[in-house]
């Protein structure tokens, strides 16, 4: 390998500049980031080593070493981890590898946020290695990847535009990173400073973090007593400076809030504190420890395909695997944390886990605990729960149709706006049911894009008149929920835009029935002629029981797919056959009388067809949907205005 100079990708240079400026007030985190990377690299070699013992040959001592040199102003962090090849080094350090980070970073640049805010946002993504440039004018990496024949590589950069790649003389497996500290940052090259920072941020790292401690000591005699008059000599001793005590193994009372939060930052790359934590120590037939966190903010990739399960599996303090689909169901992918089981073998593989019943039981237990925590939060600290729900409610809803066993519990956790809540305020099914008037038997909802677009829907008229509450289902996922959730506490869920709606009491029903029959007789042939005029768009025309002021509305059959759902499918590029809808007419609206008299006068009057189409267009508009032919509609409206205006003028 000959020495070559390469340029950082533009975004890396920009990120470096931003990082060095915006994280200025919190410089010391570079140690946490580098130690965290070293710990990950050790996890990797340990796992690979289980599969292929040869990889660990020559050095099975898995550890991190921190050295410093005050005079030279350097700090060196070395690990016996997996190491990197030349390609990996270029890929990992020279580019922003994670696609989401890149997108996020580009957005951040445009945002012009304050530096504090930027630091916080950047922290969410874990700037990792780059944070070392906050304190360094130059960084040198020497690394050799595990495995025979892998050539050691040397990387060097001042963190501005370029880096060089060269052959290294490193013989051991692993990575050594040397920071040449800025003049104003040489204070970091101190035993106490480093010890302090490691204690603060990295104490729980499960591998030993060692330091060579230098002391001036007087020689001792055979009893251990200092020899008087003898000259002091310099001694060097390797000391482990972290307790290595996995935080989840400790008793709750022995863990400080700060430690919990630091650990959360380590596993989540989130700069913020968690919203809630759950620390479990389960003993019995099943025994495991778990430390789970609910974040405050949803990560950018929560709904992307690559979203991972945020809980890792450990066996007796040793990291086994992350993104484990057996530990938590997918709809709980937002939970971060670790689960440590003493009942599994260390060399457990994904395949074995699939068969293993232990994990199934642990999963059940964890889900139960998480749901209990949320329930409690909802009852005791509603504000906090709403903060959580605003970020993660959508994911939780997925559980309603994927986790049959917990459907009821989840249903109690979801919230909606309704015709009886103020804008932006939410209510639950339980509260809805409590408010139901005695004679109301079903739970009503309306689906659509937003509360605004639904609030004045003709479908709500009768409900408003009756003072019945209607829930706004405005999340695309809500349409899917109702497929799995047909009732709540034995009360059927009913869409106000589907099927027949009759909110009358028994006595009224009788009268309505009679009135409907007479209307049918009276308007029957007219309705047939309207249906004929609109046969391409609708399958039926009928007299409505749900309208009080509007002339018309469109409804679907009970089992038809709703137009909102059709739209959702379309947005996912899935074509589904369009289902024709039903046009309902308000029997108390004068338009019906008008049309009837035109019909009586001349069944073939072209106005009938035109009015039918106008009625249909009105119904479409009232739903906030686009018209098929808006120009035609506009012309017709203009003609009508002229006609009406003229009639009025002649009358005078």
Q: Answer yes or no whether residue 461 interacts with ligand ADP by CB under 6 A.
A: no
Nearest residue relative to ligand ADP (C-beta): 128
Residue 33: CB minimum distance to ligand ADP, A? 6
Residue from 6, 129, 203, 279 touching ligand ADP (CB under 6 A): that is 129
Residue from 19, 66, 75, 82 touching ligand ADP (CB under 6 A): that is 82
For residue 443, the cross-strand partners are 493
Span near ligand ADP by CB under 6 A; candidates 110-118, 125-133, 443-451, 507-515 = 125-133
Q: Determine the Cα–Cα distance for residues 314 and 312; give it in Å rounded to an integer.
A: 7
Query: Quick one: angle between helices 115-123 and 10-22, nearest 10?
Result: 120
Residue 317: CB minimum distance to ligand ADP, A? 20
Nearest CB to ligand ADP, comparing residues 44 and 384: 44
Comparing CA positions, the residue from 341, 402, 404, 327 lying closest to residue 370 is 327
Comparing CA positions, the residue from 161, 127, 164 lying closest to residue 9 is 161
Assess contact for 327 and 311: CB atoms under 8 A: yes
- Using CB under 6 A as the binding criterion, the count of chain residues that bind ligand ADP stands at 15
Q: Which two tokens stand for residue 262?
A: 């630091």
Nearest CB to ligand ADP, comparing residues 133 and 468: 133
For residue 153, the cross-strand partners are 143, 167
Residue from 35, 38, 135, 311 touching ligand ADP (CB under 6 A): that is 38
Comparing CA positions, the residue from 491, 509, 511, 481 lying closest to residue 437 is 491
Kindly state the helix (H) or strand (E) to which residue 267 belongs, with its residue range: helix 257-268
Using alpha carbons only, give the angle 323, 327, 329 rounded to the nearest 5 degrees: 90
Residue 315: CB minimum distance to ligand ADP, A? 23
SS3 call for 217: strand
Comparing CA positions, the residue from 194, 157, 150, 152 lying closest to residue 175 is 152
Nearest CB to ligand ADP, comparing residues 177 and 255: 177
Residue from 128, 310, 448, 458 touching ligand ADP (CB under 6 A): that is 128
Q: Answer yes or no whether residue 132 interacts with ligand ADP by CB under 6 A.
A: no
Which residues between 95 and 114 bind ligand ADP (CB under 6 A)? Answer: none
Q: Answer yes or no whether residue 81 interacts with ligand ADP by CB under 6 A.
A: yes
Residue from 92, 349, 382, 439 touching ligand ADP (CB under 6 A): that is 92
The sign of the torsion formed by the CA atoms of 264, 242, 324, 253 equals negative
Residue 186: CB minimum distance to ligand ADP, A? 23
Assess contact for 326 and 283: CB atoms under 8 A: no
Span near ligand ADP by CB under 6 A; candidates 37-45, 203-211, 457-465, 586-594 = 37-45
Which residues between 172 and 201 bind ligand ADP (CB under 6 A)? Answer: 175
Task: Write down the residue that tokens 């020495």 correspond to.
Answer: 3
Nearest CB to ligand ADP, comparing residues 33 and 478: 33
Q: Answer yes or no whether residue 152 interacts with ligand ADP by CB under 6 A.
A: no
Q: Determine the Cα–Cα distance for residues 198 and 28; give it in Å rounded to an integer.
A: 10
Q: Answer yes or no whether residue 79 interacts with ligand ADP by CB under 6 A.
A: yes
For residue 178, the cross-strand partners are 76, 140
Binding stretches for ligand ADP (CB under 6 A): 33, 37-38, 41, 79, 81-82, 84, 92-93, 126, 128-130, 175
């Amino acid at each position: 390998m000959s020495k070559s100079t390469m340029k950082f990708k533009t975004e890396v240079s920009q990120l470096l500049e931003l990082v060095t400026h915006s994280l200025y007030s919190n410089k010391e985190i570079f140690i946490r980031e580098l130690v965290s990377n070293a710990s990950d690299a050790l996890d990797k070699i340990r796992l690979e080593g289980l599969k292929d013992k040869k990889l660990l040959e020559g050095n099975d001592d898995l550890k991190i070493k921190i050295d410093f040199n005050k005079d030279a102003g350097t700090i060196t962090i070395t690990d016996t981890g997996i190491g990197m090849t030349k390609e990996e080094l270029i890929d990992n350090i020279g580019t922003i590898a994670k696609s989401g980070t890149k997108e996020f970073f580009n957005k951040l640049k445009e945002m012009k946020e304050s530096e504090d805010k930027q630091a916080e946002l950047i922290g969410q993504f874990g700037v990792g290695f780059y944070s070392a440039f906050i304190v360094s004018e130059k960084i040198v990496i020497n690394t050799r990847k595990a495995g025979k024949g892998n050539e050691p590589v040397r990387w060097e950069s001042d963190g501005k535009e370029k880096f060089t790649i060269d052959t290294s003389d490193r013989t051991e497996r692993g990575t050594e990173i040397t920071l040449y500290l800025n003049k104003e940052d040489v204070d970091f090259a101190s035993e106490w400073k480093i010890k302090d920072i490691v204690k603060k941020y990295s104490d729980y790292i499960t591998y030993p973090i060692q330091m060579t401690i230098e002391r001036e000591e007087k020689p001792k005699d055979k009893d251990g007593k200092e020899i008087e008059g003898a000259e002091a000599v310099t001694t060097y001793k390797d000391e482990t400076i972290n307790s290595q005590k996995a935080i989840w193994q400790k008793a709750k009372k022995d863990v400080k809030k700060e430690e919990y939060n630091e650990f959360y930052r380590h596993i989540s790359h989130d700069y913020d504190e968690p919203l809630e934590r759950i620390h479990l120590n389960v003993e019995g037939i099943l025994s495991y420890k778990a430390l789970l966190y609910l974040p405050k903010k949803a990560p950018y990739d929560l709904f992307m395909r690559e979203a991972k399960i945020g809980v890792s599996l450990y066996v007796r303090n040793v990291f086994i695997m992350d993104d484990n689909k057996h530990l938590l169901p997918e709809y709980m992918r937002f939970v971060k944390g670790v689960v440590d089981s003493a009942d599994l073998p260390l060399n457990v593989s994904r395949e074995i886990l699939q068969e293993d019943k232990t994990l199934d039981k642990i999963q059940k237990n964890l889900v139960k605990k998480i749901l209990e925590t949320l329930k409690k939060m909802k009852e005791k600290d509603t504000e906090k729960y709403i903060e959580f729900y605003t970020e993660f409610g959508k994911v939780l809803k997925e559980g309603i149709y994927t986790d049959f066993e917990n459907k009821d519990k989840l249903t109690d956790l979801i919230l909606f706006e309704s015709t009886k809540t103020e804008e932006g305020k939410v209510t639950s099914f339980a509260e809805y049911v409590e408010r139901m008037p005695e004679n109301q038997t079903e739970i009503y909802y309306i689906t659509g894009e937003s509360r605004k677009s639904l609030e004045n829907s003709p479908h709500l008229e009768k409900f408003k008149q009756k003072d019945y509450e209607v829930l706004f289902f405005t999340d695309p996922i809500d349409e899917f929920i109702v497929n799995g959730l047909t009732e709540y506490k034995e009360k059927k869920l009913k869409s106000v835009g589907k099927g027949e709606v009759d909110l009358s009491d028994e006595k009224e029903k009788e009268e309505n029935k009679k009135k409907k029959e007479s209307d049918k007789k009276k308007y029957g042939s007219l309705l047939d002629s309207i249906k004929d005029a609109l046969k391409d768009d609708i399958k039926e025309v009928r007299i409505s029981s749900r309208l009080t002021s509007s002339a018309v509305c469109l409804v679907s059959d009970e089992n038809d797919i709703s137009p909102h759902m059709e739209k959702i499918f379309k947005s996912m590029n899935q074509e589904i056959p369009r289902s024709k809808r039903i046009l309902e007419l308000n029997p108390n609206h004068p338009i019906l009388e008008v049309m009837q008299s035109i019909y009586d006068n001349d069944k073939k009057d072209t106005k009938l067809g035109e009015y039918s189409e106008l009625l249909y267009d009105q119904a479409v508009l009232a739903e906030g949907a686009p018209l098929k032919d808006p120009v035609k509609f506009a012309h017709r409206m203009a003609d009508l205005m002229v006609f009406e205006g003229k009639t009025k003028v002649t009358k005078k």
